[in-house]
Amino acid sequence: MSARILVVDDIETNRRLLEARLSAEYFDVVQASSGPECLEKAAETVPDLILLDVMMPGMDGFETCKRLKADPATRHIPVVMVTALDQREDRVKGLEAGADEFLTKPVNDVALFARVRSLLRLKEVLDELRLRQESAFGSEDGEADLDGSATVIVAAGDEQAAERLAAKLPREFAGRPMADPAGVVKAARAGAELVLIDISNAKFDALRVCARLRADTATRNTPIICVVEGDTPQEMVRALDLGVSDVVNRPVDPGELAARLRTQLKRKRYAEQLRDRLEESLEMAVIDPLTGLYNRRYMASRLRQAVDAWEASAERVSVILFDIDHFKRINDSWGHQAGDEVLRAVTARMGKQLRALDIAGRYGGEEFMVLLSGAAGREASEAAERVRAAIAREPFVMVSAGVTVEVTISAGVAEILHGDTPERLIARADAALYQAKAAGRNQVVVAQKKAA
């Protein structure tokens, strides 16, 4: 995995040493010798990860990390603090400042590169989600409501060990102690936001549980924090290579655990926000915002697919075009808000008369299109007549205008014929709709069995 890493240390020898080790693993290395230079280089080069020394004159690593995380342009860059400090207060202070990891010198190469690879994988996922969000919504980057309470599955080799570990959780996290591997997976699938699992206990294969959680679509994005023995870096490496989100060393310090849990929860909720926005953008691309039906572009693509399926397997397909009669009079008499109410009400009545597999869309201002796969012209005509009758049966109440109005709808139906293109099929349905309008409206006309 190639990436750009910013190494920050006021001692040149330390920077050179880290550069040599990272370059040997094919990383692109940028150097900075102070906190202010780190902020400048981070903004200028946009690194994928920052290795940050804590003990620097002037602006120390803690303050530098806080400023990186406060800047929208750099807040998502993972920060690994590398320092000679080894007190638990220093680790907690670093994690609370926004650091993703706190490594004590001398740094074990295996542990360092395992951490780097893991954080780069997480950043790659978030970067892709952010890129898609910016493509749809611009650079808006809100991060509201990322903190708060959460349910944590606490797994260990026996219930007593799980309960002891759960007792170390901060007050806002509700722990569910468990010792059954199958139960852990089942509970995680049910919607727990975090999993804390002790892999130092040999009573069950905790790494296999981690692998199952990562392989399952329902739990693939659930943060997993593993408890490992501090003198067994190979356990940490195996866990991180399996996709575990974070590790904490035994004996577990409650303050450090709290900081790591909060970081993982915030990252998870931020990723969920990005995914939700992406889904919204995809929906906005195909849905008409007024009626909730598919828009014209989406209907055109589905019609093309249906015509291709007809050519490949001769599966029947029919099209209905509906048009609300005298719709302009409604807008002219009671205003566009009343017209919008009628459009939504017509959509609701139409939906009740169609099959679940029929695809309905808003094709124009007051025009609707329905695509009926596997339906001949007769079946489509019957569906169109059901819709027409449902629209005409009862008047529509326009709340904004305080009146009721009689509304009718006309329809043109066309079944696909050999040689039809999507455009030709629509043209035949449109010609039938024109005939229905010319014949007095409030009726259904089926196109002739001859291509135009």
Instruction: Return the pLDDT at 443.
Output: 96
pTM of the model: 0.65
Co-location of 147 and 62 in the same domain: no
Q: Is 143 a catalytic residue?
A: no
Q: What is the rounded distance in angstroms from the CA atom of residue 225 to the CA atom of residue 331?
A: 60
One domain, residues 260 and 231: yes
Is residue 114 one of the residues assigned to a domain? Answer: no
**Helix 233-241 with 206-215: angle, nearest 10 deg:** 20
178: β partners: 155
Distance CA 57, CA 60 (A): 6
Which pLDDT does position 451 carry in this prediction?
45
Q: Quick check: is 2 in a domain?
A: yes
Q: Does one domain contain both 300 and 269?
A: no
Averaged pLDDT, groups of 10, the chain, 452 residues long: 88 92 92 96 94 93 94 92 80 89 82 88 82 56 63 92 93 93 92 90 84 92 90 82 90 91 89 78 81 93 90 88 95 91 95 94 95 93 97 90 91 93 95 96 88 44
Residue 112 counted as domain residue: no
Per-residue confidence (pLDDT) for residue 145, from 0 to 100: 55
Rounded to a whole number of angstroms, the distance between the first and last alpha carbons of the chain is: 59
pLDDT digits (tens, 9 = 90+) for 186-230: 999 998 899 999 987 777 789 999 999 999 989 999 999 999 987
Cβ distance 410 to 439 under 8 Å?
Answer: no
pLDDT digits (tens, 9 = 90+) for 394-416: 999 888 888 889 999 999 999 99
- CATH number for 342: 3.30.70.270
The structural domain count of the chain equals 3
| pLDDT digit string, tens, across residues 322-353 | 999 999 999 999 989 999 999 999 999 999 99
Q: What is the model's pLDDT at position 452?
A: 43
What is the structure's pLDDT at 231? 65
Q: Based on the domain organization, do 307 and 274 belong to the same domain?
A: no
Q: Say yes or no: 193 and 72 in one domain.
A: no
Whether residues 319 and 358 fall in one domain: yes
Q: Give the domain range for residue 73.
A: 1-107
**Among 101, 193, 256, 366, the one annotated catalytic:** 366
